[in-house]
Amino acid sequence: MEGDFSAGTWFAMELPDDEIIRSLLVEVADERRFVDETRIGETVVRVDYCIQRLNGDLCHVVYAVEVHTARVRSA
C-alpha cells in the first residue's frame, strides 16, 4: 500500500506467476465499503467490496466484479 487506505492510493499485488500488478483505490466509504480498479492493457477490472460485521471478530465480505474491455472490430 502506497499511503493511507483512502481513495487515490495505489497498491500492488503479486500474482501466482510472480507478476506484480498495481491497483488504485477509487472509492472508500468508512470501514464498510471500498472499490478498487486495476488496468491491464485495455481491460479495466473494478471490484466493489462490502464488509458486514458479524458477532465477535467475524466479518462477511461480499464483492462484485466489473470487467470492461475495448471492443474488437471484425474486418
Residue 27 lies inside a defined structural domain of this protein: yes
Q: How confident is the model at residue 74 (pLDDT cuts 50, 70, 90)?
A: low
According to DSSP, residue 73 is labeled P
Domains: count for the chain? 1
Q: What is the pLDDT of residues 48-65, one digit of tens each?
A: 999 999 998 999 999 999
Q: Which residues pair with 47 in a beta bridge?
A: 36, 65
pLDDT at 71: 73
pLDDT tens per residue across span 21-39: 999 999 999 889 999 999 9
The reply to whether 41 falls in a domain is yes
State the chain's mean pLDDT as an integer: 92
| Cβ atoms of 52 and 30 closer than 8 Å | no
Domain assignment present for residue 74? The answer is no
Give the range of the structural domain holding residue 46, as residue numbers without chain letter: 10-68
In a domain, 14, yes or no: yes
- Residue 31's pLDDT is what? 80
Confirm whether 45 is domain-assigned.
yes
| 29 domain residue, yes or no | yes
- pTM, full prediction: 0.82
* Distance of alpha carbon 62 from alpha carbon 48, whole angstroms: 8
